[in-house]
């Protein structure tokens, strides 16, 4: 264990590693992505202990990727991370325009998202006993939010006149999501009960039970938003009590976001609009939900009858010829 730690320190102290760390930071990558890229460079360096990493040849880099795929049997998604990290280092950072990047083709497995029916969503939301959890999960579903997006909504983010919520999305990308008057009134009533100035869904704090404050007072005074751990724990309890686990094995908080997208498309919303609501960077991410809609072939055939151009009687068309 000591040898591994010592070797890791040697790698991270090398100038090329420091320079690449600054490079990915300046590219504006998220901290998690930066760490993933640097981790792959550490693994590559350990794979060739007697060769300086910046001086590796294209075939040596390919051999490392082959080792990850064949010997370590990594999944396509993980292997793709390694390719992106190595390509950023050798092509973008060092300027080596090798042909190997054009040859590598990794097919990623994209499993279909798991969704619930409208009736199952209603059952799940009705299972939450505490109002604060029912409020946050209702918002996640009705707005198609990620967990972190929902817990970090501030009271000022809700525009009652325009009926939208301003969301700080993945990577800090802002967007607006529409809400119904019914949801607006529910959220307004929920916030009025605690009046926390910073958060729509505040936490309770670890010491609220011993503080002699009521739950509403504790929510109003807490400086932090509701924790992801508490939300996930509430979801696990609700899944068990709702009985949905018997028919759905992969329910989680994100299932509500998937269900939102599928239900909107099923109701006739455009892919482009749903993509904007979800905060996707491309339509390709949203297109996967089209495979999950309940629009049947019978509905599609019925729509054919509404297409223009066939209103002229056949007899008159024959006379014109």
The residues spanned by each domain of the chain are 2-103, 118-296
Is 305 a residue whose pLDDT tops 80? no
Question: Within 10 Å of residue 99's Cβ, how many Cβ atoms?
Answer: 7
Question: Which pLDDT belongs to residue 12?
Answer: 67
Predicted TM-score (pTM) above 0.75:
no
Count the neighbouring beta carbons within 10 Å of the beta carbon of residue 139.
25
pLDDT tens, position by position, 214-230: 989 999 999 999 999 99
Q: What's phi and psi for 164, nearest 5 deg?
A: -140, 155
* Mean pLDDT, the chain, integer: 85
Strand pairing of 174-178 and 164-168?
A: antiparallel
2-103 folds as DNA polymerase; domain 1 (1.10.150)
Distance CA 273, CA 210 (A): 48
Lowest-pLDDT choice from 41-50, 203-212, 279-288: 203-212
The pLDDT value recorded for residue 151 is: 96
Which residue's structure tokens are 């223009």? 308
Average pLDDT over residues 12-24: 89
Q: Decide if pLDDT at 311 tops 60.
A: no
- Average pLDDT over every residue of 201-211: 83
Cite the active site residues.
146, 170, 254, 257, 280, 289
Highest mean pLDDT among 45-59, 103-117, 209-223, 235-249: 45-59
Encode pLDDT of 230-268 as tens digits: 999 999 999 999 998 777 778 999 999 999 999 998 888
Return the CATH superfamily for domain 118-296.
Intergrase catalytic core (1.10.443.10)
Using the predicted structure, report yes or no on whether residue 304 has a pLDDT greater than 70.
no
Q: First-to-last CA distance in the chain?
A: 89
The two structure tokens encoding residue 216: 């509403």
What value does the mean pLDDT take over residues 15-44?
90
Helices 253-266, 271-278: inter-axial angle, 10-degree rounding: 160
Read off the pLDDT of each residue in 187-191 and give the average, rounded to a whole number: 96
């Amino acid at each position: 264990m000591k040898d591994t730690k010592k070797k890791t320190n040697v790698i991270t102290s090398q100038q090329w590693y420091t320079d690449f760390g600054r490079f990915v930071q300046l590219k504006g990558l998220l901290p998690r992505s930066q760490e993933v890229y640097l981790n792959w460079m550490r693994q590559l360096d350990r794979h060739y202990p007697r060769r300086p990493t910046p001086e590796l040849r294209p075939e040596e880099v390919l051999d490392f990727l082959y080792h990850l795929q064949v010997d370590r049997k990594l999944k396509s998604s993980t292997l793709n991370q390694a390719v992106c990290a190595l390509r950023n280092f050798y092509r973008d950072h060092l300027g080596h325009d090798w042909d190997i990047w054009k040859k590598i083709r990794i097919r990623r497995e994209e499993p279909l998202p798991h969704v619930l029916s409208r009736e199952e969503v209603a059952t799940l939301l009705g299972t939450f006993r505490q109002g604060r959890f029912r409020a946050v999960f209702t918002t996640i579903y009705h707005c198609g939010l990620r967990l972190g997006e929902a817990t970090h909504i501030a009271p000022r983010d809700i525009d009652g006149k325009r009926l939208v919520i301003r969301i700080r999305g993945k990577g800090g990308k802002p967007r607006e999501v529409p809400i119904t008057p019914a949801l607006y009134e529910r959220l307004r009533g929920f916030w009025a009960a605690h009046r926390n100035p910073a958060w729509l869904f505040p936490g309770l704090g670890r010491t609220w039970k011993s503080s002699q404050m009521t739950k509403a007072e504790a929510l109003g005074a807490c400086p932090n938003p509701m924790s992801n751990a508490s939300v996930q724990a509430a979801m696990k309890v609700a899944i068990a009590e709702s009985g949905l686990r018997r028919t759905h094995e992969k329910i989680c908080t994100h299932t509500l976001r998937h269900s939102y997208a599928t239900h909107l498309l099923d109701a006739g919303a455009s892919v482009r609009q749903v993509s904007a609501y979800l905060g996707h960077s491309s339509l390709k991410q949203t297109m996967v939900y089209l495979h999950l809609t309940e629009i049947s072939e019978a509905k599609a055939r019925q729509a054919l009858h509404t297409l223009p151009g066939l209103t002229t009687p056949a007899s008159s068309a024959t006379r014109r010829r």
